[in-house]
Structure 1
Amino acid sequence: MTPSNRAVVAHAADDLRIETRPEPHAASDEAVIAIAFGGVCGSDLHYWRHGAAGESILRAPMVLGHEVVGVVQHAAADGSGPAVGTAVAVHPATELPGDGSRYPADRPNLAPGGTYLGSAARVPHTEGAFADRVAMPSRMLRPLPQGLSLRAAAVIEPASVAWHAVARAGEVTGRHALVVGAGPIGALIVAVLRRAGAAHITVVDLVPRALDAALALGADAALLADDAEAIAAVDADVSFESSGNHRGLASAVRGTTRGGTVVMVGLLPSGEQPALISLAITRELELRGSFRFAGEIDAVVAALADGSLDVAGVVTHEFAASEALEAFAIAADPAVSGKVLLRFSAAEK
């Protein structure tokens, strides 16, 4: 008998449940994936704690999760996609035109109607993949190279976000970089910068544990976020704001040299935010947004497989899917955790 299909479902603020969901029914271009690991993202935590992630408000129960890897249990009936037994990572985005607003054809992450697994941005919501078995379009699946374990591959999605952010900065080889916010995304930006040949990387955070983790991943120097004088003296060629806080953005602006670039990765709350625009103007800084990722996932898979991208220190905890509530509580405390993984059926055999 097939065991029950456990799923991690957000119902409202402070209402996270482990439920049994029906077995997935795959369309002809979809495969059924037995999920092995899922990484808890900041957006998952927002749905759990607040019933919303930014302007994406829960209006119905929704399966969470978009950072997932697993194994093909049933291949797509139309012959597309990988065969049964293939270990895969998942690209969670779907490019859709929405209201027809223009966007660059080579940047599908900016599609106005785009959807993402585990997102309440649209109604009906886009269900996530924190479940033992999920049907997914073949186009979302990326086969894992031989030798890359499912657990090591569990950070592919957030590493792709980091890779995209570094790409938005332009050439970083030989340059001095500042990373404000050393949570999982900031730590992964450090790892990608190190691989890309940055000459010196300074990382900033409020939490000593996070700073230590970033140093282990390749940062050269670490500063506490309340040391404004030291941050302003960094004089970085390029800075990355990954804290999702306007104070972090201010630190990035202050710590960037004249004519430098600030890449804004952390998603600040919706609405107007205070910002040091006058300083950005007089220093002629370039402020660049960075939103999710596009095709970078394929480069990340290759870099993890050949060992050139070292992110082993990002994952700090692993829980069974049935312990999701405890896992979310740990993930919400940066003083004790980095990336937290949930373990599903394909990893429990």
Structure 2
Amino acid sequence: MTHTFELPASAPAVVAHGKDDLRIEDVALQQPAPGEAVVEIAYGGICGSDLHYWLHGAAGESLLLEPMVLGHEVVGVVARAADDGTGPAAGTPVAVHPATPGPGAARYPADRPNLSPGCTYLGSAARHPHTDGAFLRYANLPGRMLRTLPAQLSLRRAAIVEPASVAWHAVSRAGDVRGKRALVVGAGPIGTLAVAVLKRAGAAHITAVDMFDKPLEIAAAVGADAVLKGDDAAAIAAVEADVVIESSGNRFGLASAINGAVRGGRVVMVGLLPSGPQPVPVSLAITRELELVGSFRFNGEIDEVIAALADGSLYTDPVVTHEFPVSQALAAFAVARDAAVSGKVLLDFGA
């Protein structure tokens, strides 16, 4: 098979070498395997896990043991289609589903591959050798990861697809939210995207909670009916939400989520707390008969998210607050770590 696109020898990438050691460097590019397409990355969103690898040399229990290309929230255009004929054709704009489910050694529901113990994820140090991410100009990605974007959905707007899918999955774990009171604790990118998804799903009233003004402004812009500061315990308890999305990822947020839920309500925990025991008011969850439900990544929801962004029923534009060329990735990460001033921060790989 002949190709009109010639892969360069190297390309700039964002690489975590260890704690406090983030570099923009040229990495050697490998020829794609038969089932892989070459995707010219247009935009990448900085995720909390990317920040953790930079700031702590670990994301949860995933320890960075060697340099790793970061990034799993990416969109781009197929520069070279897979040689085996699978996946989209060259020139196709695509979003990326960054998971590779694996069989693992334990049982899990077949319709929930996100729970497969052997699952790998782009830009993850959960396994060794690590799985490099796609914060680089040209990424070799299997065709099964690629989702064709509708013509009316720009790459810039589609850059939010991956985290929006995480939020969509979390809301789906809450069940039918139509006509219900909802509370979102933690108005970072996932939290504000959860507000947008709840709005689309027909929640009757949505309250967002955060410690900073900027995230609350974003939450209001995408559909929150009320906003509260995280230290206003009495006001949070008075919400009595049927459904709570906990996206702060800390024990104080989970305590607020439990306190803000109505008796018999459901709390969806999508914010990843640190490993180990966490002091939270479990007794209150027991006496109120609350349902505490975990939410981890996503599955096929990415296709619903793409469709909802394309038809305009899911409004997420205010969530993206900053955009930097990849050459300024270090500055972009510094802004992304400051929750008081930023929402989702994008890297532009074409700038």
TM range (shorter): over 0.9
Closer, same or farther in 2 for the Cα pair 1:3/1:322, shift >3 Å?
farther
Aligned with 2:308: secondary structure? helix
Equivalent residue for 1:220? 225
- Within the alignment, does 1:198 sit opposite 2:203 as a pair? yes
TM-score, reference length from structure 1: 0.98
Query: 2 CA distance for matches of 1:3 and 1:191?
Result: 42
Deviations 1:165-211, CA, capped at 9 Å, x for gaps? 00000000000000000000000000000000000000000001110
- Residue 24 of structure 1: which of 27, 30, 36 is its match? 30
Q: Which amino acid aligns with 1:198?
A: A
Query: 1 CA distance for matches of 2:337 and 2:115?
Result: 28
- Within the alignment, does 1:58 sit opposite 2:64 as a pair? yes
Shift in Å, 1:25: 1.4
Shift in Å, 1:127: 0.3
Q: Which amino acid aligns with 1:283?
A: R
Q: Which amino acid aligns with 1:56?
A: S
User: After the TM superposition, which residues 110-121 of structure 1 pair with which residues of structure 2 at under 5 Å, given as runs?
Assistant: 110-121=115-126
Equivalent residue for 1:73? 79
Shift in Å, 1:147: 1.3
Aligned with 2:239: secondary structure? coil
Q: Contact conserved, 1:24 with 1:134, CA < 8 A, in 2?
A: no
Aligned with 1:298: secondary structure? helix
Any runs of at least 4 consecutive aligned residues in structure 1 with deviations exceeding 2 A, and if so which? 1-4
- Residue 83 of structure 1: which of 81, 89, 95 is its match? 89
Deviations 1:215-234, CA, capped at 9 Å, x for gaps? 01000000000000000000
Deviations 1:85-134, CA, capped at 9 Å, x for gaps? 00000000000122x20000000000001000000000000000000001
Shift in Å, 1:15: 0.4
- Residue 13 of structure 1: which of 10, 14, 19 is its match? 19
Shift in Å, 1:276: 1.1
Equivalent residue for 1:339? 344
- Residue 294 of structure 2: which of 266, 289, 295 is its match? 289
Query: 2 CA distance for matches of 1:324 and 1:293?
Result: 27
Equivalent residue for 1:45? 51
Q: Which amino acid aligns with 1:46?
A: H
- Within the alignment, does 1:312 sit opposite 2:317 as a pair? yes
* Higher mean displacement: 20-29 or 263-272: 20-29
Cα RMSD over matched residues? 0.9
Identity across matched positions, percent: 70
Shift in Å, 1:21: 1.0
Q: Contact conserved, 2:9 with 2:28, CA < 8 A, in 1?
A: no
Query: 1 CA distance for matches of 2:213 and 2:235?
Result: 16
Q: Which amino acid aligns with 2:23?
A: R
TM-score, reference length from structure 2: 0.97
- Within the alignment, does 1:241 sit opposite 2:269 as a pair? no
- Within the alignment, does 1:179 sit opposite 2:184 as a pair? yes
Q: Contact conserved, 2:9 with 2:29, CA < 8 A, in 1?
A: no
Equivalent residue for 1:35? 41
- Residue 188 of structure 1: which of 187, 193, 212 is its match? 193
Query: 2 CA distance for matches of 1:12 and 1:112?
Result: 25
Deviations 1:23-80, CA, capped at 9 Å, x for gaps? 2311111100000000000000000001000110000000000000000000000110
- Residue 230 of structure 1: which of 226, 232, 235 is its match? 235
Aligned with 2:220: secondary structure? helix
Q: Which amino acid aligns with 2:36?
A: E
Q: Which amino acid aligns with 1:14?
A: D
- Within the alignment, does 1:92 sit opposite 2:98 as a pair? yes
Query: 2 CA distance for matches of 1:278 and 1:175?
Result: 25
Q: Which runs of 5+ in 1 are unaligned?
A: none
